[in-house]
Amino acid sequence: MSSTTDTVLSCTNLIKRFGGITATNDVTFDLKQGARHALIGPNGAGKTTLINLLTGVLEPTSGSIKLLGEDISRLASYKRVRRGMVRTFQINQLFDTFTPLQTLAMVVSQAQGLGGKWWQPIGLQAISVKASTSANVQERCLELLTQFHLLEVMDREVRLLAYGKRRLLEIAIALACNPKVLLLDEPVAGVPAGEREELLQTVAALPADVSVLLIEHDMDLVFEFATRITVLVNGTVLTEGTPDVIANDAQVKAVYLGHSLDAAEGAHS
């Protein structure tokens, strides 16, 4: 494994066993500064287990995980977030009765160290604010709402939003935490075809200084987004390389991608 200083997240010989089942088998890989890295593999390949290990949901049986050079193998999930690792989920983790603005105000306030002050009035009419901290929260919220195409629904309860907008809000929440490493767990899963393009463009426009690990089955998104791809099969890294290398790898086609890869490659060649 590379020891260069541009590695922001790494795992070395990572193993996770559940009884007699080895879900993650000696996985080693690096995520580079500013990476657009995709993790792919068939159902049951161990992708979710690996992400749960990286984010602290699970503890490894053996092996190590480092974030910005610090060993975080046994660190609690919330402490990993504080150190700059943030994750989205396959299933939305949102407050249905909050609006996007209220949701982001809460997260931004926490990120700025304001705690419970997030509830101070913020909205389109709240142009004059009583404290500069509230102004800072409002400014950051409006930046995120604009970036993620949520301005027009900023005051609508989350439960009323189209599913694509809910996905955009989830990624906006992650970015509001000021991540150094962002793990996107199947961001387009369940999103209707008519709402996907906006989400794909927004993911492609994420800040260059945020290193992104994308877990995804959608090969269109993988090949549009990733500059490097790791293929996981049966809990083991099968291969890793550029999209072109992966697209032409006979082993990858045989065990996973097949004709779906050929179609994706052709669409983006």
Rounded to two decimals, what is the model's pTM? 0.83
Q: What is the 3-state secondary structure (H, E, C) of 140-209?
A: HHHHHHHHCCCHHHCCCCHHHCCHHHHHHHHHHHHHHCCCCEEEEECCCCCCCHHHHHHHHHHHHCCCCC
Residue 125 has what pLDDT? 40
Name the least confident of 176-180, 218-222, 233-237, 264-268: 264-268
Q: Is the pLDDT of residue 132 over 50?
A: no
CATH of domain 1-84+179-269: 3.40.50.300
CATH 3.40.50.300 residue ranges for the chain: 1-84+179-269, 94-178
Q: Is the pLDDT of residue 148 over 50?
A: yes
What mean pLDDT, rounded, does the chain reach? 85
User: Given the structure tokens 């541009």, which residue do they identify?
Assistant: 6
Residue 99 has what pLDDT? 93
Q: Is the pLDDT of residue 81 over 70?
A: yes
22, 51, 53, 205, 231 from 247: Cα distances, Å: 28, 24, 28, 24, 11
18, 51, 153, 228 from 189: Cα distances, Å: 27, 16, 21, 21
Mean pLDDT of 138-144: 92
Of all residues in the chain, what percent carry a pLDDT higher than 70?
Answer: 84
Task: Tell the CATH topology of 94-178.
Answer: Rossmann fold (3.40.50)
Q: Name the pLDDT band for 130 (thresholds 50, 70, 90).
A: very low
Name the least confident of 97-101, 125-129, 157-161, 233-237: 125-129
If you ran DSSP here, which 8-state letter would residue 255 be given? H
